[in-house]
Chains A and B, each alone.
Chain A
Amino acid sequence: MIEALRKKAEELLRSNTVNVIYGYGEGSTPERTRPVFITKPEDVSKLTWNKYCVYNLTTYLKRRESRKLGKPAIVVKGCDAKTIVVLIKESQIKREDVYILGVTCNGVGEPMATKCKACDVHTPRIYDELIGEKIENKEIPFEERYAELEQYEKLSEKEKWDFWQKQFAKCIKCYACSSICPLCFCDRCIVDKNQPQWIDPSAHPRGNLSWNVTRAYHLAGRCINCEECQRVCPADIPLNLLNKKLAKETEKNFKYRAGYNIDDELAMATYKEDDNQDFFK
């Protein structure tokens, strides 16, 4: 599989189809794979693929530093490929501006990442070239996909509040969660604005609640569950629970799943006349 990946990468660079390959490279130890940006055909041997390739490389599609390198081919797993669908739908990139090297994947991480437990995109749903043996994407029922949330949803109001306050109290406002997020692409984030100051910039419980709720909310109907925010959080806040909760509500109310179908209207950019309004007086 690695050989096929390298061969294709070399071919793409030699034919000038793309200027750069965003891929996974080996790190100082086997479990420390890291992103590599390959611009020369002779460097393709740096590319690798293994179960430690947890990262979502599509985050580099928003970075100026990597965009400067020219048209990319990007190595994506099934989950990461969903990001590209959302980015295209949100007019951040054009389909023809990115070459998608999809890799089939049976789960990553050691121990296996939470996102892989209810995976229904072992084979990417969008790609230009598929590397590896095609794996059947089997449907997973709604309840199973959001099973992780159950134990938190059944807590009492006070327990929920205490749980999240304890979590948010750890937040140091480093904004790693939004820096890594491939879908947090605003040039000027709401936290950078100080007239008015919507979100208290200090790592104070009040601002921490506002920040974490706002960050999650801005991903409503957009988050594709790559769990990168949670992975990079130095304070180990289970941020993806919030994202997942929003994804669940979006799917429940609007039958929409971000990144699954390129023809679907973006959930939060459209409406239906018969949307749920039980809670309206």
Chain B
Amino acid sequence: MSEKTKFEPRIVAFLCNWCTYAGADLAGTGRKQYQANVRVIKLPCTGGIDPLFLIKAFERGADGILVSGCHPGDCHYNSGNYHARRRWNVFRPLLEFCGINPERIQFSWISAAEGGKWVETINGVVNAVRALGPFEGYKKINAIGPDAPSESFVTN
């Protein structure tokens, strides 16, 4: 593969405002380096993440997704992450059953103090998705329509 068409994965990260977003912020303040493939979407709580958000991210051209929030017991709203965990426990196998590689949808708990863990996790996700390659299947079913991503799968 030439330098120009090298595949760079597009990762969408859904982060909770209170823990992981603050953790990512800490990584930034600490001048920690990590791969720049991630697009962060900040939400109040992982408990408020509808699985449709994930599907939408894939529709709009994501190759991988990270969902991250507070450690169990640390939720700002007491139980949001517990409810989220229940949901992902069934949603993840459903996508897997439909033929979507579970490596493309990853979950983590990262607290506001874990800037280092954020860097590690992001690098891990990016590397895993880079190894899987572009999400060709979804790209194909996206092929037509006004929302179809243009050349965005290949960046230089």
Contacts and interface: CB of A to CB of B under 8 A. Distances in A.
Interface of A: 152-153, 157-165, 190, 198-200, 202, 204-206, 209-210, 213-214, 216-217, 220-221, 241-242, 245-246, 249-250, 253-254, 267-268, 270-273, 275-277, 279-281
B90 A249 contact: yes
A30 to B, nearest CB: 38
Contact of A217 (B51, B56, B101, B124): B51
Give the interface SS of chain A, mostly helix, strand, loop or mixed.
helix
A164 B102 CA distance: 16
Given A213-B98, A281-B121, A250 B90 contact: yes
B90 A159 contact: no
22 contacts: A152-B97, A159-B99, A161-B98, A165-B137, A200-B59, A200-B147, A204-B144, A206-B141, A209-B55, A209-B141, A213-B55, A220-B91, A245-B94, A246-B94, A253-B89, A254-B89, A271-B82, A273-B73, A275-B86, A275-B89, A281-B106, A281-B124
B59 A206 contact: yes
B86 A217 contact: no
A199 B4 CA distance: 34
A221 B94 CA distance: 13
A216 B98 CA distance: 11
B98 A164 contact: yes
A161 B91 contact: no
B153 interface: no
Nearest to A198: B52
Given A165-B99, A279-B88, 20 more contacts: A152-B97, A153-B97, A158-B99, A159-B99, A161-B137, A165-B141, A198-B52, A204-B144, A204-B145, A205-B140, A209-B98, A214-B55, A216-B94, A220-B87, A242-B98, A268-B90, A271-B82, A271-B85, A277-B85, A280-B108
Interface string B103-133: 0001111000000000001001000000000
A275 B85 contact: yes
Contacts of A164: 98-99
Interface of B: 51-52, 55-56, 59, 72-73, 79, 82-83, 85-102, 106-109, 121, 124, 137, 140-142, 144-145, 147
Nearest to B53: A198
Given A216-B94, A220-B91, A242-B94, A190 B52 contact: yes
Given A161-B137, A213-B95, A220-B90, A206 B56 contact: no
A275 B107 CA distance: 14
Contact of A157 (B51, B90, B101): B101
Contacts of A254: 86, 89
A137 B91 CA distance: 31
Contacts of A152: 97
Best-surrounded residue of B73, B82, B94, B144 (most CB of chain A within 10 A): B94
A217 to B, nearest CB: 6
B85 A210 contact: no
Nearest to B148: A206
Nearest to A250: B90
Nearest to B145: A204
Contacts of A199: 52
Nearest to A274: B72
A160 B97 contact: yes
Nearest to B82: A271
A190 B56 CA distance: 13
Nearest to B121: A281
